[in-house]
Amino acid sequence: MKLNVAQKKNVENQVRVEALPDEHPAARQLRDAFGDHTFFLDSTGLNIVEEDPSSDDSNGNVVRLASWKDDQLKELVRHEPEVLPITVDLDSDEPDPDA
């Protein structure tokens, strides 16, 4: 799922991740490999947020798509998507600057 600016900030504030800018050199390769998502990096790997189908609220689940190959955090290894036990609130009290 592609998140707007306010949603990205919500995720970054709730989980220790950093959104990969859309203009980052790796962003196109990631979109080709995984689809049109907002990608987040953390010390464990590459993550996205997907809507929580079991929630009526604006919650999302963090899904890890790839893990770092080693401690140097320079190469990711793709694996089956892993839904993490982390739910984030995507709703924001702040207006979306993209809107």
Residue 50 lies in a domain: yes
Tokens of 27: 């962003």
| Beta pairing class for 59-68 and 45-51 | antiparallel
Residue 52 lies in a domain: yes
Residue 99 lies in a domain: no
- Owning domain of residue 73: 5-89
Residue 57 lies in a domain: yes
Q: What pLDDT does 94 receive? A: 57
Is residue 89 within 8 Å of 10, Cβ to Cβ? yes
Q: What pLDDT does 91 receive? A: 85
What's the pLDDT tens digit per position in 36-86?
999 999 999 999 999 988 877 789 999 999 999 999 899 999 999 999 999
Residue 79 lies in a domain: yes
Residue 96 lies in a domain: no
Q: What pLDDT does 98 receive? A: 53
Short-list 67, 96, 69, CA closest to 84: 67
Is residue 79 within 8 Å of 53, Cβ to Cβ? no
Looking at residue 3, its amino acid is: L
